[in-house]
Chains A and B, each alone.
Chain A
Amino acid sequence: MNQKDNFIKGFFKENPLFVTVLGTCPALAITKSLENAIGMGIAVFFVLVLSNLIISLLTINPKMKEFIKPVRIPVYIVVIATLVTIVEMVMHAYLPALFVSLGVFIPLIVVNCIILGRAEAFASDNKPVDSIIDGMGMALGYTMALMLISLVREILGSASITIWGDLALDITPVFTFIGIQPISMFLQPVGAFLTFGFILATLAAITNKKSAKLATEVKQS
């Protein structure tokens, strides 16, 4: 796999949220606004890229890899927990509003399956540069998925798009023009499940259509 494919696979082919369905707990909980999604995306990006790099560096030497193998899960968790705690402290200090908004889901990044999954499945068997690119692709793919869910929920739930802090787009006039009201249900957990479900169903329909088309082409040839 070349570097480009390694980077892009996290966006579509192996998107952590929409394809492998990992990290759904925070994805459903914090996607009430676009700002939350971006904030969580930045936190996951930092943790995923650095954990992939550190774990790849730790296991690059075959002898060191052999020593780490029996204690690899505790080693991964120690590294990931350290990075998450750093993110938590820095966010608490410099972005207190976002820290309060994301709440318990920042420390819960420690047990996010995406981070541990990439450490075990990719970083421990690949070179540092490849691991960084994999981490970046996966983190950006996850962020993109979070942003998509939060956009749908925030627009339908509160008729606005909160980009960052006070930078927000009020689309109430559009709602007024169409003659509808915001549906607050989309800001509740049920709205998160519905949005996630509809997006997954749409993606499944597209994938099935592509597969059917490919099968027809193979048959004809």
Chain B
Amino acid sequence: MNKGLISGVVLLVIGLVCGLLLAVVNSFTSVIIKANEDAIVLASLNEVYEGSGNYDLDIVNGSGAIDKIYVLRDKLDDSIVAIVYSVKAFGYQSDIKMLIAVEKNDQSALVFAGYKVLSQAETPGIGDVIIGYDFKMDGQLITNIDAFAGPTATFTSNAVKTCFQLVSARVAADFGGIQS
């Protein structure tokens, strides 16, 4: 047989064995990696939504400005307790990424349960006060975006407001069934 062909076959066999080995390792590490990532998100969600550890977490890929949607379901009856959106909008000089949680209040109306700025690179001392800033949105109906009073940095405030609007526009439909 042609020597070059044999060399090629040797390379092919080595490649196949390596591929098989990787598949085996991936089969048990991917489950742990996924669990780790969910734990990180849950820890982060815990800051927005207290007691999130008591719920099952479904992660749905979003589209456009909404990166991911985290659906917290009650472990007992599988009902949707809250939906948390990972959403972004461009501020003055950076993407502002936020988690915005929505739940139903006692009257079964959808309200903002909480929010957290995950990342931003706005102007220090002006735009970046959105971190830890009290937007006074907790418990506000999702239709009442005007309740939002942001910091004085207009572009940053508008970006945060846009995030709330993006969530507000789709959350009612999502509580009826997530659509990515």
Contact = CB atoms under 8 A, between A and B. Distances in A.
A and B associate in one complex = yes
Interface of A: 58, 64, 66-71, 74-75, 78-79, 81-82, 85-86, 89-90, 92-94, 96
Contact of B7 (A70, A86, A94, A96): A70
Q: Is the interface of A mostly helix, strand, loop or mixed?
A: helix
Nearest to A63: B6
B25 A67 contact: no
Interface in B1-46: 3-4, 6-8, 10-11, 14-15, 18, 21-22, 25-26, 29-30, 32-33, 36, 40
B22 A85 contact: yes
Q: Give the most central of A81, A82, A94: most B CB within 10 Å.
A: A82
Contact of A93 (B4, B8, B11, B32): B32
Given A68-B10, A71-B10, A86-B21, A78 B36 contact: no
Nearest to A58: B14
A74 B18 CA distance: 13
A92 B18 contact: no
Interface of B: 3-4, 6-8, 10-11, 14-15, 18, 21-22, 25-26, 29-30, 32-33, 36, 40
Interface of chain B, main secondary structure: helix
A71 B33 contact: no
A92 B26 CA distance: 11
A68 B7 contact: yes
B29 A79 contact: no
Contacts of B8: 71
B29 A93 contact: yes
B8 to A, nearest CB: 7
A79 B14 contact: yes
A177 B8 CA distance: 66
Nearest to B24: A86
A19 B122 CA distance: 45
A76 to B, nearest CB: 10
Nearest to B15: A78
Contact of A82 (B6, B18, B30): B18
A100 to B, nearest CB: 10
Contacts of B33: 89, 92-93
Contacts of A68: 7, 10
Contact of A89 (B4, B29, B36): B29
Contacts of B22: 82, 85-86, 89
A93 B29 CA distance: 6
